[in-house]
């Protein structure tokens, strides 16, 4: 037996027991003749003491020990003179009788502490060492609990967990596919799924009316901070449902997870907001509603006073930062620079301060105090507040106001990581028009059904059609999205037509689905949640990477196994692939 207990297990009750522990050496301290060793495993840390009177043999072994050595220790549990209440085993220590070095360790390239001295790249390269650190352990434990509780809830709701294939077919919609060459069918390729969307719909046709899967998805997109080329979805689908059934079922899942993972009770319904309102009041489709600070449109209120920036703007809008009237010149200049960064893209920031000594503004030259007060009244601003205004192209300006609102919310401490504000965003547009390619794209995906009230204009006025789609947003992060699907072959055909598919293309790409719809497809709908993101928000982190055991870096590389990598010429030959500029060919 390697161990009688784990390093997180021993308490005062174990006093006087002889125990055997195994683990990694976290730290060694010599104090006088005594040596203190922190022994660590997944479960915690236990302090070991080696007294000055031990045998020479034991002393020799202790001298050889170093950080991250794996050892097995036998000793007596005793009460500590000065307990350490920061660790679970802090009331006891082990007086060492025997130590066996199971495996030595090189000096780790960074410290295995809560705050490590290793940089990102280094820690990614030695991910197995990074994973020994407590914050990562806690993150993976949280992920496990979230996945486990998801299964428990969905199982209790009669969902079946069913696997769908990873080697599927490339489709032109959505993001770019990762492609896998087929050796047995040279010149032909599989694609890795961006989601199991079509398969889960086929399962509905097959009669498995409640499906879920915790499943890896692959998207070959340009990477952003919170994106990974492979990520995990909680993918779900239900038959014989309308939107309300889906929202209720998954609001139930969210509440179950809040309760069982975070011990937070949510009573009452989650708020719902239309896409139109989200864009109008928050400037984006995933509002962080932990705080108010809504955007107020001023386009019609401020034009015609010879201020060119406003007069020439398509859209003018502002936010009111409560209690910020005392912002200094320097702070305002800094905010002005902040909004001009390319990521925000504003031309500049106008402000109105409602100070105790009256109204002060960057646009005094063009507006009388009464006119400024009228703007403040429209925005519901009070004395002590600061109004920040952006103007320009509507899309860019609303996007800028969204970011500015989030930034001010952060500065004012409104975006507390332990506070949670869930939200359903509903009634998205069905299509997005792309000026470059001059065609419509499905905003969600091509299987999303139009809003029942908009069916009449589905073909005649696609730009105005709303989708029967919904997103689940938590603290300004899009955690999930789904829709009621088209289950009628004819409607699906029209959808493909609007998206610019010829009948032949549609048949080649999605014939299997349209054919299936000819054999009795039930009405159905579903949703998929990003597990990694859900974990990150629950854990109060901005980064999903910490919640993935072996993530890729920002350029999509696995630094540890050094992938992607070249493959041997024989492998290429076998696959029938010739690289255009392969130096070895």
Binding site for ligand ASP (CB under 6 A): 195, 197, 445, 481-483, 526-528
Q: Which of 79, 101, 87 is nearest to 9 (CA)?
A: 87
∠453-483-436 over CA atoms, to 5°? 85
What the block records as the tokens of 342 is 């390319």
Asked if 73 and 96 count as a contact pair (C-beta separation under 8 A), the reply is yes
What the block records as the tokens of 65 is 């020990």
Q: 265: buried, middle or exposed (CB in 10 Å: 19+, 13-18, 0-12)?
A: exposed
CB of 140 vs ligand ASP, minimal distance in Å: 24
Residues pairing with 232 in the sheet: 216
Asked if 287 and 293 count as a contact pair (C-beta separation under 8 A), the reply is no
d(CA 517, CA 520): 6
CB of 379 vs ligand ASP, minimal distance in Å: 36
Tell me how far apart the terminal alpha carbons of the chain are, to the nearest angstrom.
55
Select 322 or 478, whichever has its Cβ closest to ligand ASP.
Answer: 478
Please report the DSSP string for 443-459 in residue order: SS-TTBPBPGGGGGGTT
CB of 195 vs ligand ASP, minimal distance in Å: 3
CB of 569 vs ligand ASP, minimal distance in Å: 37
Query: Strands, E, within 304-357: which ranges?
Result: 315-321, 350-355
d(CA 484, CA 470): 9
Select 202 or 295, whichever has its Cβ closest to ligand ASP.
Answer: 202
Select 409 or 526, whichever has its Cβ closest to ligand ASP.
Answer: 526
CB of 481 vs ligand ASP, minimal distance in Å: 5
SS3 of residue 558 by DSSP: strand
Distances, alpha carbon 137 to alpha carbons 130, 219, 299, 506, in Å = 9, 27, 51, 47
Residues pairing with 524 in the sheet: 239
Select 307 or 470, whichever has its Cβ closest to ligand ASP.
Answer: 470
Cis peptide bond prior to 308, omega within 30° of 0: no
Select 422 or 480, whichever has its Cβ closest to ligand ASP.
Answer: 480
Select 150 or 483, whichever has its Cβ closest to ligand ASP.
Answer: 483
CB of 337 vs ligand ASP, minimal distance in Å: 36
Which element (helix H / strand E) includes 249? helix 243-262
Asked if 535 and 100 count as a contact pair (C-beta separation under 8 A), the reply is no
Residues pairing with 431 in the sheet: 442
CB of 245 vs ligand ASP, minimal distance in Å: 14
Neighbours of 475 (CB within 10 A): 21
Asked if 325 and 384 count as a contact pair (C-beta separation under 8 A), the reply is yes
Which element (helix H / strand E) includes 402? helix 394-411
Select 391 or 528, whichever has its Cβ closest to ligand ASP.
Answer: 528
Select 7 or 236, whichever has its Cβ closest to ligand ASP.
Answer: 236
Select 164 or 397, whichever has its Cβ closest to ligand ASP.
Answer: 164
DSSP 547: G
CB of 216 vs ligand ASP, minimal distance in Å: 12
What the block records as the tokens of 112 is 């295995």
Q: Which residue has the tokens 């041997």?
A: 568
DSSP 358: E
CB of 239 vs ligand ASP, minimal distance in Å: 13
Q: Which residue has the tokens 């010599």?
A: 30
CB of 155 vs ligand ASP, minimal distance in Å: 19
CB of 46 vs ligand ASP, minimal distance in Å: 45
Select 133 or 445, whichever has its Cβ closest to ligand ASP.
Answer: 445
Select 211 or 351, whichever has its Cβ closest to ligand ASP.
Answer: 211
Select 139 or 527, whichever has its Cβ closest to ligand ASP.
Answer: 527
CB of 215 vs ligand ASP, minimal distance in Å: 10
Select 196 or 392, whichever has its Cβ closest to ligand ASP.
Answer: 196
Q: 553: buried, middle or exposed (CB in 10 Å: 19+, 13-18, 0-12)?
A: middle
26 phi and psi angles, rounded to 5 deg? -85, -40
Q: 134-156 and 531-538 are packed helices; what angle lies between their axes, rounded to 10 degrees?
A: 120
**In this structure, is the dihedral angle defined by the CA atoms of residues 377, 378, 384 and 390, taken in order, positive or negative?**
negative
CB of 445 vs ligand ASP, minimal distance in Å: 6
Select 450 or 482, whichever has its Cβ closest to ligand ASP.
Answer: 482
Residues pairing with 231 in the sheet: 217
Select 23 or 480, whichever has its Cβ closest to ligand ASP.
Answer: 480
CB of 483 vs ligand ASP, minimal distance in Å: 5
CB of 482 vs ligand ASP, minimal distance in Å: 4
């Amino acid at each position: 037996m390697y161990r009688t207990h784990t390093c997180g297990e021993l308490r005062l009750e174990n006093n006087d027991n002889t125990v055997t522990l195994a683990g990694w050496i976290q730290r060694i301290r010599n104090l006088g003749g005594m040596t203190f060793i922190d022994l660590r495993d997944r479960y915690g840390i236990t302090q070991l003491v080696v007294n000055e009177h031990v045998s020479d043999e034991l002393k020799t072994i202790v001298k050889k020990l170093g950080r991250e050595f794996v050892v097995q220790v036998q000793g007596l549990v005793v009460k500590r003179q000065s307990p350490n209440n920061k660790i679970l085993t802090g009331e006891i220590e082990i007086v060492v009788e025997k130590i066996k070095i199971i495996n030595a360790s090189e000096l780790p390239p960074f410290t295995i502490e809560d705050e490590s001295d290793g940089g990102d790249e280094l820690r990614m390269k030695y991910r197995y060492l990074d994973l020994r650190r407590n914050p990562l352990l806690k993150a993976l434990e949280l992920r496990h609990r979230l996945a486990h509780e998801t299964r428990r809830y969905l199982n209790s709701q009669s969902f079946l967990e069913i696997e769908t294939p990873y080697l599927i077919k490339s489709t032109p919609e959505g993001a770019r596919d990762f492609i896998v060459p087929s050796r047995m069918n040279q010149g032909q390729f599989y694609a890795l799924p961006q989601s199991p969307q079509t398969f889960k719909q086929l399962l509905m046709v097959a009669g498995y009316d409640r499906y879920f899967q915790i499943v890896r998805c692959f998207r070959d997109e340009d990477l952003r901070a919170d994106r990974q080329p492979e990520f995990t979805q909680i993918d779900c689908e239900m038959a014989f449902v309308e939107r309300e059934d889906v929202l209720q079922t998954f609001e139930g899942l969210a509440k179950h997870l809040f309760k069982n993972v975070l011990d937070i009770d949510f009573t009452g319904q989650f708020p719902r907001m239309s896409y139109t309102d989200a864009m109008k009041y928050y400037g984006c489709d995933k509002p962080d509603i932990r705080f108010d600070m809504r955007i107020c449109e001023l386009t019609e209120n401020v034009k015609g006073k010879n201020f060119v920036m406003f007069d020439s703007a398509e859209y003018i809008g502002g936010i009111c930062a409560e209690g910020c009237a005392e912002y200094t010149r320097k702070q305002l200049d800094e905010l002005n620079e902040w909004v001009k960064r390319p990521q925000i893209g504003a031309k500049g920031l106008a402000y109105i301060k409602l100070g105790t000594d009256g109204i002060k503004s960057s646009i005094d030259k063009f507006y009388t105090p009464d006119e400024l007060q009228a703007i403040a009244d429209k925005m519901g601003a009070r004395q002590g507040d600061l109004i920040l205004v952006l103007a320009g192209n509507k899309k860019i300006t609303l996007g800028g106001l969204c970011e500015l609102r989030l930034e001010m919310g952060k500065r004012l401490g409104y975006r507390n990581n332990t506070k949670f504000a869930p939200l359903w965003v509903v009634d998205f547009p069905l299509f997005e028009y792309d000026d470059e390619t001059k065609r419509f794209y499905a905003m969600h995906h091509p299987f999303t059904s139009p809003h029942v009230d908009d069916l009449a204009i589905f073909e005649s006025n696609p730009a105005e059609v709303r989708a029967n789609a919904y997103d689940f947003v938590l603290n300004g992060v899009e955690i999930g999205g789904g829709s009621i699907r088209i289950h009628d072959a004819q409607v699906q055909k029209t959808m493909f037509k609007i998206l610019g598919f010829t009948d032949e293309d549609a048949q080649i790409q999605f014939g299997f689905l349209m054919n299936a719809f000819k054999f009795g497809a039930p009405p159905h709908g579903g949703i998929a949640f990003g597990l990694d993101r859900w974990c990150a928000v629950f854990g109060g982190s901005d980064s999903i990477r910490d919640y993935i055991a072996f993530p890729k870096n920002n350029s999509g590389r696995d630094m540890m196994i050094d992938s992607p990598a070249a493959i041997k010429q024989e492998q290429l030959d076998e696959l029938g692939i010739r690289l255009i500029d392969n130096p070895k060919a």
